[in-house]
Structure 1
Amino acid sequence: MGRTIMDREKIVEEVLAFEWQMFIRVNDSGGKNPLEKSLPSVGEISADFRLHRTSQLAVWSEATLQSYLRDLGRAHHIGRNLMIYKYARMGNLIPSENESPFIAKIVSAQLAWQRAFIDKHPRMMSRGRQLAGEEQGLDWASFSTYVQAELETYAEETLKLLYKDVQRYQAEGRSMSEEIYDHLAREQGYASADAAEKKQ
């Protein structure tokens, strides 16, 4: 018997719980133990964080989601905060620890999709990240820098599976950027990203 939509939603909720726990501790100076293993309740996850991360995860296969959940579980077990590593890499504060050949391939595909989406939705994306080039601090690190830094936190198996997802999208003539922003738009009350663009 195949897995249900609820099974996928459960995986996403577990991913969000791990990610949120790591995210809120990036600049945590409140004296809490950063290695504490209790997960926050779903209700504590901010709406904005949930919106953007679920939209990102919506384009992944279930196999990729499961692999990433295992990455998060392993990191949690040893007390490694993947968000801290990601932001440190975005700021070029530490050297890369991941030289997987899949990273450059995924970045290249996502950069092409993002460029095409921006060209089609200039008003909607007018305040988004630059695609590449001069950095303006962590908040405005370029899209390519952001994607590269995040991918470097993934294990090799997750990267391999995500690249398979990318190849499938390419073979089907689909765009991950289009579908991510369609998901975002629907969650904000629009029929699609195209409809949201017309309202800008």
Structure 2
Amino acid sequence: MCSRDNLIDTITAREWEFFQEVNNVGGPASCQSMPRTFSTMRRAQYTCWDRQALESWLDDLADYRARGMNPVTIKYARMMESTHPDEFASLATMLPPVPNETHEAVEELVGLTVRWADELAQHYPLYMGRGRVLHTRDDTPDKTSVETYARGEMSTYSLRTLTSLLATYRTAAQEGRNLQELIAVAQVHAYGYQSLDDVERALATGSMGDRGLDGQHVL
């Protein structure tokens, strides 16, 4: 059995392959040439996933490959329902359907994600202000919110993966743990900061130096 770190490495490598295959209007996006940043952000996301969810998502990625489908392309297309509704209307019939049970699981996970992001923004407004807006209501053609992003991504997970994640998220909520904070801490550690408080002070005093946080939009 491979280690948890090796499992995450494999997942991130598979996701990078799909990410490279996304065709953007106007040519490749700048973030498609940032493998280290991509890996850092994706690995941070998996900080709070248990092994069962990780293995299930890796299976999902293999299934997408076998079917000749790209989950990253599908993810971004689903986000367009909020950010580019006219364009989304022309794509909607080409996307795989989201069953009701899957939709309900996604919405519960999205609700917890946004609640935790709201709480994090109250404590670390400067840090969170560098990232995405939080709510779908604030989406624009140039800004995709945490809520819309989470809904687009989670809609690509299988029900098996969603069910495993729900168990983790529900337990965290019952115990008063903020999983968005755990992800954020993993991100700032990767950039050499000791804590979110460290980052917030650096932002407040303009003393970040060369330790940027260039990956907050890369997922």
Report the AA paired with residue 62 of structure 2: G
Between the two proteins, the alignment pairs up a number of residues equal to 181
SS of 2:39's equivalent in the other structure is helix
Q: Give 1:165's aligned residue.
A: 168
Q: Give 2:214's aligned residue.
A: none
Report the AA paired with residue 41 of structure 2: H
Q: Give 2:23's aligned residue.
A: 27
Q: Deviations over 1:149-176 (max 9, x none)?
A: 0000000000000111101211222111
Equivalent residue in structure 2 for 1:130, among 111, 129, 133: 133
Question: TM-score, with normalisation over the residues of structure 1?
Answer: 0.85
- For residues 128 and 122 of structure 2, the distance between their equivalents in structure 1, rounded to whole angstroms, comes to 9
Displacement over 4 Å in runs of 4+: none
Answer yes or no: is 1:7 the counterpart of 2:3: yes
Q: Which has the higher helix share?
A: 2
CA-atom RMSD in angstroms: 1.8
Q: CA deviation at 1:127?
A: 2.5
Moved more, 140-149 or 92-101: 92-101
Q: Give 2:56's aligned residue.
A: 67
Answer yes or no: is 1:110 the counterpart of 2:110: no
Q: Is the 8 A contact 1:17 1:45 kept in 2?
A: no
Q: For structure 1, which runs of at least 5 residues remain unmatched after alignment?
A: 30-43
Q: For structure 2, which runs of at least 5 residues remain unmatched after alignment?
A: 26-32, 82-87, 204-219
Residues 53 and 161 (structure 1 numbering): CA distance in 2 closer, same or farther, change over 3 Å? same
Q: Give 1:57's aligned residue.
A: 46
- For residues 167 and 14 of structure 2, the distance between their equivalents in structure 1, rounded to whole angstroms, comes to 24
Question: TM-score, with normalisation over the residues of structure 2?
Answer: 0.78
Q: Give 2:71's aligned residue.
A: 82
Residues 171 and 23 (structure 1 numbering): CA distance in 2 closer, same or farther, change over 3 Å? same
Equivalent residue in structure 1 for 2:151, among 145, 148, 160: 148
SS of 1:196's equivalent in the other structure is helix
Identical residues among aligned pairs (%)? 28
Q: Deviations over 1:55-107 (max 9, x none)?
A: 00111111110100000011111211000100111112244721311111101
Q: Deviations over 1:96-124 (max 9, x none)?
A: 72131111110111100000001111111
Report the AA paired with residue 65 of structure 1: L
SS of 2:3's equivalent in the other structure is helix
